[in-house]
Each structure stands twice: as C-alpha cells, then as structure tokens.
Chains A and B, each alone.
Chain A
Amino acid sequence: MTLRLTVNDQRRRVETDPETPLLWVIREQLGLTGTKFGCGAGVCGACTVQLDGKPVQSCSVPVGDVGRQPVTTIEGVDGPVAEAVRRAWLELDAAECGYCQPGMIVAAIALLRRKPHCTDKDIDDALRGNICRCGIYDRIRAAVHLAARKLER
C-alpha cells in the first residue's frame, strides 16, 4: 500500500507492506543508508532515529505505525545540539569502525536536548541501548560531556 511519511522535513511517499520495519524503508526505499542494521531486534541501537523528537529503534517500528510523526535520521539531524555533538566527536575522534555512530549520535542528541547537564549516569542510562562493538564507550562518554560543555558556552 501507499504510505506518506515525513522524513528529515521532507514529505515522502512509499509503496510498501505496512509491516515492514521503518529501518528498511528508510534504507532501501528512501536511500538513507546512514541508519544501520545491527540486530533487527531492538537491542543494539544501530538503527536509532528520532520519531517525533524521541529516539526509537527503527528496526522495531512497523512503517505502518509511523503515521504523521516526523522521522529524523542521522542525515537530517541539525541545530545547535547536533552541531555541538559532531564537533565534540570530531575533537575526540570518538569513532573507530563508525558503524554504531549514527545511532549513537542520534541518541546522544536526544539526551542532550532533554538533559543539557548530564552526568555519567545519565549518559549510561541513555546510551546503554547502543552497542559499540569497537568498545570505545569511555571516549563516547567523554564526547557527550564535551558536547554539553560546548552548549553551555
């Protein structure tokens, strides 16, 4: 069936089975491959996008359930928080293979919007759903703090 979606501020029409996970519609039909497949079961966070501003695992959302809620992917995140996060990540080189990073960054942006002054515990709670198999969590944590400091200025 035909569905209408708003993705990264653009209206898109897709022809799809409504049961298809949002992840695959984003990647294959809309060609936005920044959002990653890691488990397909909602437990790794690689597929994290913002749905109406909140981080969700797009592999676990049937596209038919999205409705009018705007979807924001790694390609579409912007604004001062996103900017601060990217600058902090660059400064600390907080990426190795980089495969977890789109999901990690989308989740970190959501955290900092909600809690600009976050503690280690806040970061752990907000990002524990995002697996980094390269294991550079300590660096990512430092990057979130750095982004928070940049936003204070």
Chain B
Amino acid sequence: MPETPLLGRRSILRGAAVATTGLVIGLYVPERGRAAGRSEPLAPNAFLRISPENEVTVVAKHVEWGQGIHTTLAMMIAEELDADWGQVRVVPAPADPDLYANLIFEAQVTAGSNSVRNSWEQYRRAGATGRAMLVAAAAQRWNVPAAEITVDQGVVRHSRTGRKATFGELAGAAATQPVPTDVPLKDIGRFRLIGTQGVHRLDTPSKLDGSARFAIDVTQPGMLTALVARSPRFGGRVASVDRAAALRVPGVRHVVQIPTGIAVVADTFWAAKKGRDALDVRWDDTGAETRSTTDLVTEYRALLDRRGDIARKDGDAERALAGAAHTITADFEYPYLAHAPLEPVAVAVRRTRDGVEVWTGEGSVQGAQEGAAELLGLTREQVTVHSVYAGGSFGRKDGTTLEAVEILRAIGGSAPVKLVWTREDDLRHSFYRPMYVHRMTVGLDRRGDITAWHHRIVGQSIFPWEPVNGVDWVSVDGAGNIPYDIPNILVDLHTTQTGVPINTLRGTAGAHTVYSVETMLDDVAARTGRDPLALRRQLMSRDPNTKQIEILSIAEADRPTVFAEFPRQRRTLELAARRAGWGSRLGRGRGRGLAVHYGFLTSVAMVAEVTAHRETFRVDRVVCAVDCGIAVNPDIVRSQIEGSVAWGLSIMLDGAITLDRGVVQQSGFHDYRVLRMDQMPKVEVHIMPSSAPPKGVGQVAVATVAPAVANALFAATGRRVRRLPFSAG
C-alpha cells in the first residue's frame, strides 16, 4: 500500500528515484564541519560525525517513538562504515527539511511506515562515504594504496605493513579529504550487522533507569504547566468564561483563551488541574457535532443500500451476484478508536533571545517548526525543535505542537511552559480512527467457487485532498487490493462527513477492511466445506498483478505496488501455516484461524489459536510470518510484530470510542480498555528471507490479528462476530 501522506500525496516513485540515483548526495553539506585540523571531527555529511574520541554519532532524521528507528538508522550507517557497534550513538536531527526530509514525503516527517525504506540508500551511502574518507586518510598517512586497506569493527588496517588506526585517530585527517560523491555500497552478502541477531537497541539502557527523557519530562527553570479546558463537543466554542475561581487556586498564574479552549497555566501540574477544575466555562455548541454513535450507525447503514464511488471493479460483480447459485451477505461495524499512547500528549516550549525552542514527540518536525514560525511571525530558523522520545504515538502526536505555542504566545512568552494532556483529555478531545460500516456480498456457483465479491464501505476519509474517482484509497486499502483470484470484484465507498476529527492510527485501514475480507472468506470456506488454508491457496494461485482490472482508484504512483510480488504473499501464508502446525489436531474447545494481508509493501500471514470457554475465550498463541524485505534488525522487526498483535487484540476485544449527543463517553483506561499482560498470547514471528530493500513493519501486522482470532473462535465455537469490539456483544 499506499502511503499515508501527511502533506498530500507524494509519488513513491519520485522518492525512490531520488534515493537510488545518488542525487541524495546533493542534499549533503560536505562543507559543514570540514575545517582542517587534526582535532576536528569528521562530518562527511549531515548524518554522520566521527569524533577524535572515536565516537561515531549518527544523526537520526526520524522520530523515535518506540519503533526502533534510531537503532535501525544507526545500523545502516555502521554497516557501511564498518564501525564497531559499541562506538555508535544516535542524536535526533534538528528541524532542517533540506537535509533531513523523508525522501518519500519530501518533508521532514516520520509516518506511514516508510522510515527505513526512504533512508535505506541514503544512510548506507552516508556511512560508505565516511568509510572512504577514513581509508583515504589512512592511505595518505601510511603512504600505501587505498585498495590495500581494510576496515573492520572500527579499526582501519594495512596488513602488509601491520599498521592500524582507530576511526578517532584518523578523524581529523579524514576531515581534510575531499568528500567522494560516488562510493559503492556493500553487496548484501557482505553485511555484518544488518540482518544479524543480537545487535542491541541503543535506546534500551536509558529506558530502564528512568533517564530517558520524554516531552513530558522536560523541565526548564521557571517552567509552568498548562492544562486546557476544551469543548466537550467537537466544533464547540467558548461562549463565556469566568476565570476568577481558577485564578484563586494557589499556584495558578494565567488563565488564557487559545483557539482550542481555555488554558490554565500554573506552577505545577496539580495546581493547573485544580485550576481547571475550578474554571467555569460555557460552551457554544452552534455548529458542533451533536449526533450520537447510534445516529451515525443508522445513517451509515442506510448508505449500505446505495452504490458508492467505485474503488475497484473487475468484471461485473452485480450481474454475477444476480446469477449466483448461492450468495452470502453480512454487515460489519467498526467503531471510532483512540490511540491512547501511554505518554499522553505533552509539549514544552520557551522563548529564547531571538526565537523559540520546542520539545516535542510529534512526527512532523517540519510541521512543528513551520507552524510555530508562522504563528509567532518568526523565520523557520528562529524556531528550534528538539525531537525528543515519544512515549508512544501511533498517530496521536501528529500536529500537537502548536497548541503549546499558542499558550506561550497567550502568556506573552513570559515563562517556559509545558502543555500536558490528561488521559481524560486524550480520550475525549483527540482525533480518531474513523468509524466504518461494511457490507459484503459473495456469490458462489454450484460447485462452491466464488464468482462474485462485493465489498461496500462507509466512513470518513482521512486523506480527502486528492481522491481518485472520489475514493481516498486509505479508506479501502486491504479491501481494494485483495490478492484473491475472483472473476468479478466490486469495491465501493461512501465517504461521509461528521464533525469528529480523525487521523491515522497504527494499522489504519487494514484494521477494518481485512477483518471483513478474511472472516468472510472463512464463512465461504465453512459454507462450501473447504479448508480455510486450501481455499486461500487456491485463490492465490494467480498473480493479481496480471489481472485485468477495469477500475482501481489509487494514485498512479502507488499502482505498481498495490499487490505483492507474486507469489511471495502466498509463500508467507504457507510459512505461517507450516510453523503453526495447520491441520494438526487441537483439543476440545480449541480452534485455529488464519488471515493474510499486504500493506506498506509488506506481506503478513497470521495463525491464531484460541481456547473457548462458556462465555469467554483466550488467545493462546499467534504465529506470524512476515515478508518485509531485508529485516535490518530482525529483533526489532519481531518486537514490532509482537506489539502489533497486542494492538490488534486491543482493537478487537475492547477498543471503542462512542458518542452520546456528540460527547465522547470514554474517559480513561477503565472504560477505554486496552490489552493487559494476562491477555497476551505467546507470539512467534518468522521472517521470510529476502534480498529486497526493507519495507514497512510498524503497523502492517495489526490487520491480521482480529480476523485470525475471530476465525479461530469461529472454528472452535461456530460463533461469528461482525460488530467490533467483541465486548460490545
């Protein structure tokens, strides 16, 4: 799939072209830090510094929110540099889109599971360039041919003369070498770090002793804490406010109005909270969203009977359905979801002598910088953005920086201020994964083969700016690109409008589309007496890339990657099935289910095993196979998939944000329940060997969890759930 662009759709192809032609070198600033002298660090480009103290510093252009990107970027440089992993450290990049843009989005943004992919060529080349300069310096110093010099684990050697030197010893001399523009990259067979086991994450140690600093931990002398009272209904405005009671709370310094509500700014969090509790605000709901979830469901369901915008059409599904021997039809409901990262949104900001300084975990470093500059009438350069660790984001921290800047402005920049959201704020005033309803109708012929497949989706569009045939592909991803060889396919979409703000959320589209697709397929298997694995294998025996598709409403640039390379997706399914022991007997009350998905250019297949009790069930084990290209750090890939399993289970079991006359009903982890330790199954992750460039792994596996588990539960009990979450009954 498709990108989930934050700044409008960008061409994957264009990004890839930039990354592979070596033009990226043009982005480097070879001049920087290249002043001559032995004690100078070597800084051949914007991504790498080698100090005389023998420290290799990698500048990470992507935000670290748990996905391991700092470590992964550092590995790509260390690999080509032949550094010793122990000498490598990472610092976050400053805001500077000319140097640190995501090459696919062409903006300094971390999103869309493409961080490794867009950096793959660029970071390795940065390391290789550094290596070449170290080698050139050694050749010059030892007066030997560069070709005879080897580099291994941070040591540069000339074996014939027995000479050797550390990177640090050569850094100063290397800094005076010309920066080569066309260094070769290693053959993947020569990787020593990439793809190997046991390369530990660089961020783990500080996360175990409390020293890792998140945005919420930022402290500055005289810093105040701000909480904001926001409209209970989306789109509501402040009608009037009585500040007196809040201002009487000891420690409260300011009560100020900002576009999102009333900010209470105090010496401490607790004073700000008490101040906000004391605040008396009247809200004007003119123009606010006042519908309840039940109203929306009714409106959405009414649309299920009408044809929407066509996302995909091959053959004539409507006619084939009319002539089918049997049809199966089912409706599905998926609620709004909140991200609820464990660290709620927090942003710190302060005025400096000639600008402002911001500490944020948001993924769009560029957006934070440009937004703050525009708001305060500063130049971009006057805004310093510190991209600190985010305590999870999953999409939640996008665009959250400016509210803090608004508060700073409202208090005249008089003190550093830290905006903190409480958990209740986070759940009630967020943007959400949209709510959807689906209808699926499948036609079978007399032998039980599928002749027609019709999937209709109703919901809001997250990226409405450049629809194709009226379709935002992100609304249908996972449904519009099913890999199955079915003669007549129709996928259509009704894009709705509501006042509820929405955004991507880990696993965005697949978390609803794939549930409908994969559970429906199991219903077909059950109805026709086929094995779910055999049915899928049969439907995956032809390359979907070669199928004549009349309409596919996806941007031209994304078209070449809409399906996986054949037959790798089927192989992924076969691997998962084999490792899970598909077909072997399970005890009473137990069941096994599977699901497949292709997204973010990665294929996943998952087999879940459950044990059903009278009223409840337990997920015992989940086996996942993933084809994600080269796994730069296989353990980080595994960790991301394990986390995706928990994430998918949270969505399936309990995840729901509901509205009562426009007001979000959930306010904490007691009523927006997320997965806990005692619900966590054993997870096995099998990575398919690959020599293809790395793809996305942060969210793709979310999609398969719920359908695999639902299919396992169906196998165990015959019970089919089509309204998520399961706790909704």
Q: Which of A17, A97, A125 contacts B392 (CB 8 A)?
A: A97
Interface centre among B203, B206, B212, B635 (most CB of A within 10 A): B212
Task: Determine if B210 and A131 form an interchain contact, defined as CB atoms under 8 angstroms apart.
Answer: no
Number of residues of chain B lying within 8 A (CB) of chain A: 62
Answer whether residue A46 sits at the interface, using C-beta atoms and an 8 A cutoff.
yes
The winner among A32, A73, A130, A139 for most chain B CB atoms within 10 A is A139
Looking at B3-11, B336-344, B430-438, the stretch in contact with chain A turns out to be: B336-344
A-B contacts, CB under 8 A, total:
176
Q: In this assembly, does A3 line the interface, its C-beta being within 8 Å of a C-beta of chain B?
A: no
Give Cα distance in the complex from A54 to B598, angstroms.
Answer: 46
Find out whether the CB atom of B342 lies under 8 angstroms from the CB atom of A131: yes
Q: Which of B650, B677, B683 gathers most chain A CB within 10 Å?
A: B677
Tell me which of A40, A93, A132 contacts B342 (CB under 8 A): A132
Q: Is the CB of B674 within 8 A of A133?
A: yes
Asked if residues A99 and B214 are in contact (CB atoms below 8 Å), the reply is yes
Closest B-chain residue to A76, C-beta based?
A: B210
- B27-35, B93-101, B639-647, B687-695: which lies at the interface: B639-647
Interfacial chain B residues near A40, Cβ < 8 Å: 422-423
Residue of A nearest to B646 (CB): A135
**Chain A's nearest CB lies how many Å from the CB of B72?**
12
* Minimum Cβ distance to chain A for residue B446 (Å): 45
A139-B676 contact given A24-B268, A33-B217, A98-B389, CB 8 Å threshold: no
List which B655-699 residues lie within 8 A (CB) of chain A: 668-670, 674-678, 680-683
SS of A interface (majority): loop
Once the chains are docked, how many angstroms separate the CA of A35 from the CA of B343? Answer: 12
Pick the contact of A138: B210, B217, B681 (CB < 8 A): B681
- B579 contacts A by Cβ under 8 Å: no
A29 CA / B223 CA spacing, docked (Å): 12
The reply to whether A95 and B204 contact each other, CB–CB distance below 8 Å, is: yes
Number of A residues with CB within 8 Å of any CB on chain B: 56
Indicate whether A65 reaches chain B with its CB closer than 8 angstroms. Answer: no
Asked if B219 lies at the interface with its beta carbon under 8 angstroms from chain A, I say yes
A10 to B102, CA, bound (A): 47
Least distance between B115 CB and chain A CB atoms (Å): 14
Choice from B66, B210, B669 contacting A35 with Cβ under 8 Å? B210
B478 within 8 A of A: no
- Tell me, in angstroms, the Cα distance from A44 to B225 when the chains sit together: 22
Whether A28 and B268, one on each chain, are in contact in the complex, defined by CB atoms closer than 8 angstroms, is yes
Does A150 have its Cβ within 8 Å of any Cβ on chain B? no
Across the interface, do B341 and A133 meet the contact criterion of CB distance under 8 Å? yes
Whether A52 is near chain B, meaning CB under 8 Å from some CB there, is no
A residues adjacent to B (C-beta < 8 A): 17, 20-21, 24, 27-29, 31-41, 43-44, 46, 73-75, 86, 89-90, 93-102, 105, 123-125, 127-141
Q: Using a CB–CB distance below 8 Å, which chain B residues touch chain A? A: 65-68, 200-201, 203-214, 216-217, 219, 225, 250, 268-270, 340-344, 389-392, 394, 420, 422-423, 635-636, 639-640, 642-647, 650, 668-670, 674-678, 680-683
Known interface pairs A44-B342, A95-B203, A137-B646; 19 further A-B residue pairs with C-beta atoms within 8 A, sorted by A's residue number = A27-B269, A28-B219, A28-B225, A28-B269, A34-B209, A73-B210, A75-B209, A90-B200, A95-B201, A97-B342, A97-B389, A98-B206, A124-B678, A131-B676, A134-B66, A136-B643, A137-B680, A138-B681, A139-B639
